[in-house]
Structure 1
């Protein structure tokens, strides 16, 4: 039912939708195709249709549903009025496609493009369809081609130049055999967009993103319009960026943990030594308290001398007994306890 409606309401070859005409690509690779549209279709549904003629064209992917499948993806930049389709794992069966826009109750509009899939070297190719340049600087894009003949450089929806021109101060150099080298100087933010190399009836689109150059002395937040960049490229960048951001903080954290553990081990060793010394001191004091006692007993016997007879009669039968604990000189007398008391006993013997 959808194809019947599609067959009735479609206007092929509309000037309101523009894209490249023919692309030479290698089997198994991926390719991104930009499609520009008139501003009045900004809020309309865009889609990719496969087939040589409209009557047999089939929907592959749309902006109003899942925008990525195993083979296809679609994105849109409404500010630039461009939607981009990406076709992956190309085979010989991938030939004719349509960039199309729904036109509500009127005829849909679209443009057809051809993919020339080859197992050999493509007629026209670039190392990367997505390049990044910096404001105020220049960038060089190389397009390789297989056959001889004239080459040119174009901006989607604009004019083309062959040697030099007014497309972002582009200069073309063909000094190297089978390579068209395009240098764009004095880049500006508005220089961002889709360009393409032209060789005979083949084109190869290239997306340029112009941004502020990162500085090592400051942190600069850069906005990149990922909507025009293929999904595969977005995934690669999204996996690399977090790793780069976490690398330095993670290294610092590891260093802090190592230092903290080293300090902890040193403190534990010091504590063990102090405990050992304290225990030894305590044992020494206990031994001193128990072993530094001197027991003495003094007994006076009767004196045979006559001059002491009278005095001896009263004193000779007395026994003096003392228990005196002896402290080392280093001990402070002021800290003495009960054991520091001298006990004396006087016992009188019967005569």
Structure 2
């Protein structure tokens, strides 16, 4: 029996397998993050060396000691007042999971406390609740929990990293109101609700609802919030003329027939002004049979331009409104002014109606295309005239040549007889003069024809000859 006891004592000394009366300390950490292992000790051991070891806790298994407070990714701190020393393990990996020992060095047997370290992935969760809302609205995120956590602290944070959620909490159950966030815990239903007011698009994203636990990882549920732009039944653009009346048409859902209808002005519905309350130029008429109302503005002004909202729901629920973008233009005046267009050989004056603030391009286009047409007509007329003249010349030339042949002897007798008889045959002489002169006028064009003319034909075109 004594031999067996001695053997067991030797084994225990070799393995340092003395366990603290507090039992096993369970610690859970997240991969990639850090974890704190805290161990208490009894009074009187404040000045003793403390350490953290692993496996069999031999000399090579000691990870860090208070004599050397930082080693590799381990660091240790001894709070002698609270009699708790804490070891921090950073940059956790899966192989860091397992059994550890908190040790207090003393003469003889060291004091040990067993630690069980578990690791989990720093993400959440397999199930995600999706919520959609709109800009300017309020939205409630409902977070369920088990009844055994009724008295545990609750909180909510952005993102999906459980390891830092509590440190970055937007609001906790210890402080129920924080800006736009409010937390209410219903312990009977086993849910806590976080209300977010005045939503913006920046509020879109992932959220974690957390329940704090002391010895284990906190419990989380995941929510995905999507904040969409608030929209209306339809959006339309309208243009009005300054000084003229304008009517705006505003449809609404049938369930809003008995609601108050209104028209407000402003770039955003949250800050628009009810025009019916401040503007006497507006007349609103409701037509319940067509589920629409109209707003008439008696005289549009330049400063009436802007964004308007037709409303039939004071709560501004989506789909109950119409957005109108109104533009105002100046009226266009017309006047009649004379305009003159010159054409070669002809000047035409007519009345032209012009519109102010807009150049008249029609007149320029008319001149560009009308003048070439008139010139073309003149050229055609000139060509026809020339052709007819030339054709007549050919016929006249032939007639003259025939008559010259017939009267050649008679003419010679008249010329040799006496000067007074030169004009005896007045009809023949005039005819030959006209033919000869016409031929000389166009001599440049028909020179070959005139080479055969006789001297007698030239005589009748020369006034000096008659004077002699």
Please tell me the TM-score bracket, short chain as reference.
0.3 to 0.5
Is the radius of gyration larger for structure 1 or structure 2? Answer: 2
- Report the TM-score, using the length of structure 2 for normalisation: 0.26
Higher RCO (C-alpha under 8 Å, 6+ residues apart)? 1
